[in-house]
Amino acid sequence: MLQGLNEDLALPLLLRRPAIKEGARIRDSLRGRRVLVTGAGGSIGSELCLQIAMSSPAALVLVDHSELNLHEISTTLDGSQLSFSRMAALADVRDIIAMQSLFRQVMPEIVFHAAALKHVPLLENDHNLIEAVRTNVGGTKAVADLCCAAGADMVLISTDKAVNPSSGMGLTKRVAEIYVQALASRHSSVRLAQVRFGNVLGSSGSVVPLFRRQIAQGGPVTVTHAEMTRYLMTIKEAVTLTLEAADLNHHADGYGSYVLDMGRPVKIIDLARQLIEQSGLRPEIDIAIEIIGVRPGEKLVEELVYNWETVEVTPVAAVLRLISCFDPGRVAPEIDLLLGMAELRDTTGVKKGLTRIVPEYQGEVIF
């Protein structure tokens, strides 16, 4: 049995709900198919690869631009006793020529697009915002277009930060959602889907590894705001439910939009206290908790759905279907203009383009 690269934590206490168990439905939907995962070496991508590998695909193609991350997940799979064709491909999803060549070579039947720039404060400066547009929007467009040309299904990994975004990361992921929805309206024969979920415990850059390092160092544990809350899920849970969502019947046009039910949001300061206590220490006595202020792009409270999205239950208890009355065709033509501004490194043009496409933007730093 393969073990995840990111060890899941003992989570019912942290999440304040029962852990979601891996379902069996994903096995038949992936068995015997050629599967490609972008961002395969990342926190979500690597767990996708591990769970897909257990489903006996005909082939699994791992795509990542990080040689180190790709080596780690590839080595993990090579050490398993599972027998299927696999390939580790160094590629940047923004490199259209490289991705075209790869698609021609491996002919994927289903693609899980997890490649993204995701660290909110890091993407708030002008240079990195342009990089976020090139990766999160341009990379998604390149992969989605290739899926439609090849007749391959696609699942976009999205985020709750795309809802009424307050950050460059959230803005770019919302534009990616809009592009996929617009593309689906023109390619009804291809199954295109997106899955939106919140913060993933144990992922690269998440608060739990940070808090644990700070506790090991004797503190203080740094919390940005006493009232900050987040929807939380483990890596295994998020990936399990993403694979379950990919197996659901989408709308008649082949498009499906889903959000994962992560229970009630958790106060980050409560999470910090629990981790201190799990270490056998006392909050504020053995380990101090320091409030350091909200960082650029961060919200106090995240949202999962827009007010124009209706939530419906699905056969999978923790996967909810989103029915949207949003018309992506209204703003989709702006996306090519946005990408053009990004290639020109036109910061002002990029910022204006983003907020024309996503007028719900709630941040203050971008301008």
CB atoms within 10 A of CB 31: 12
Amino acid code (one letter) for 66: S
Asked if 200 contacts 194 with a C-beta cutoff of 8 angstroms, the reply is no
Burial string for 239-270 (b: 16+ CB within 10 Å, else e) reads bbbbbbbbbbebeebbbbbbbbbbeebbebbe
Closest CA to 316 of 269, 361, 256, 254: 256
Asked if 149 contacts 189 with a C-beta cutoff of 8 angstroms, the reply is no
Amino acid code (one letter) for 200: V
Alpha-carbon gap, residue 198 to 131, rounded angstroms: 22
Asked if 44 contacts 203 with a C-beta cutoff of 8 angstroms, the reply is yes
Q: Based on the residue annotation, tell me whether 352 is a catalytic residue of this protein.
A: no
User: Catalytic: which of 161, 173, 299, 351?
Assistant: 161
Asked if 64 contacts 87 with a C-beta cutoff of 8 angstroms, the reply is no
Catalytic machinery residues: 161
